[in-house]
Amino acid sequence: MTGAGSGIGRAIAEAFAREGARVIVHDVKPEAAALAEALGGVFLHADLANPEAVRALAQRALEAAGGCVDILVNNAGFQHVSPVEDFPEDVWQRMIQVMLTAPFQLIKYLVPAMKQRRWGRVINISSVHGLVASPYKSAYISAKHGLIGLTRTVALEVADFGITVNAICPAYVRTPLVEAQIADQARVHGIPESEVIARIMLAPAAVKRLIEPEEVAAFAVYLASDKAAVITGAAHVLDLGWTAR
């Protein structure tokens, strides 16, 4: 469970722990160790922006899980809001590494043991921005679109082994990631911060409220269950009706 120290990742880790799973809480923030302890799980620290650290994380996760991580949730991510001509190249590279290449690496290293056990679940947290675009988020939207392509491809490769691979695509969820971009959104759109949620974030939505992290977590638990064995290679929108238009 990557990026489990905050927001959606935290809610998913808590929901899986309630279901009886032994959760490996990964994050770059050392504070996430307290969550792992509270859930009776294991904390693994790694910066997913570093490809070598991701390889080491996969090895440590396999050891912590006794040889097989049954459910991999690729959740860690961050946002940067900027017009494309001002987008710093190093930030672009970092976003693609954390939100697309690191999920690829973790799948690559964790799927072989799932195949041997002939059961597994991979859940990739993409976004409604994996399916549609909004201005000023070029790297994020490219990474999230790519993650859906990765989801579909791997799903086809591992279906014979009882492994499903799915993407969850939420619209705006009430988390620190969303709170942190309110000032930037106000700046690039030239509107007051107090109007960002209503005028930018909820403008395309039919249901006019933010999604709660627990609502995403409940869907992740369902995808991991045996009831969802026929659901694979799909991008599931939890998007307040955004893409119905």
Ligand X SMILES: NC(=O)c1ccc[n+]([C@@H]2O[C@H](COP(=O)([O-])OP(=O)(O)OC[C@H]3O[C@@H](n4cnc5c(N)ncnc54)[C@H](O)[C@@H]3O)[C@@H](O)[C@H]2O)c1
Positions marked active-site: 140
Nearest approach, Cβ of residue 130 and ligand X (Å):
8
Q: Give the C-alpha separation, 192 to 194, whole Å.
A: 5
For position 42 contacting ligand X by CB under 6 A, the verdict is: no
Q: Give the C-alpha separation, 109 to 91, whole Å.
A: 26
Toward ligand X, which CB reaches closer, 67 or 241? 241
Q: Give the C-alpha separation, 55 to 106, whole Å.
A: 7
Q: Give the C-alpha separation, 134 to 66, whole Å.
A: 42
Toward ligand X, which CB reaches closer, 30 or 67? 30
Looking only at residues 164 through 183 of this chain, which bind ligand X when binding is defined by CB under 6 A?
A: 170, 172-173, 175-178
Task: Measure CA 223 to chain center.
Answer: 14
Toward ligand X, which CB reaches closer, 120 or 130? 130
Task: Catalogue the long-range contacts made by 23-29 (C-beta closer than 8 Å, 24 or more residues apart).
Answer: 24/61, 24/64, 24/65, 24/69, 25/1, 26/1, 26/2, 26/57, 26/61, 26/76, 27/2, 27/3, 27/76, 28/3, 28/76, 29/5
- Label residue 228 exposed, middle or buried (CB < 10 Å: 0-12, 13-18, 19+): middle
x/- map, 65-94, ligand X, by CB under 6 A: ----------xxxx----------------
For position 147 contacting ligand X by CB under 6 A, the verdict is: no
Toward ligand X, which CB reaches closer, 182 or 188? 182
Q: Which two tokens stand for residue 159?
A: 């279906």
Element (H, E) at 54: helix 51-64
Taking contact as CB under 6 A, which single stretch among the options 21-29, 110-118, 159-167, 226-234 is the one that binds ligand X? 21-29
Looking only at residues 95 through 114 of this chain, which bind ligand X when binding is defined by CB under 6 A?
A: 98-99
Virtual torsion, Cα 57, 79, 244, 159, nearest 10 deg: -10
For position 9 contacting ligand X by CB under 6 A, the verdict is: yes
Q: Which of 6, 151, 166, 185 binds ligand X (CB under 6 A)?
A: 6
Q: Which of 15, 17, 23, 28 binds ligand X (CB under 6 A)?
A: 28
Q: Which of 12, 81, 123, 127 binds ligand X (CB under 6 A)?
A: 127
Residues across the chain: 245
Nearest approach, Cβ of residue 162 and ligand X (Å):
26
**Facing residues of 120 across strands?**
163
Toward ligand X, which CB reaches closer, 25 or 114? 25
For position 57 contacting ligand X by CB under 6 A, the verdict is: no
Q: Enumerate binding residues for ligand X (CB under 6 A).
A: 3, 5-9, 27-29, 47-49, 75-78, 98-99, 125, 127, 170, 172-173, 175-178
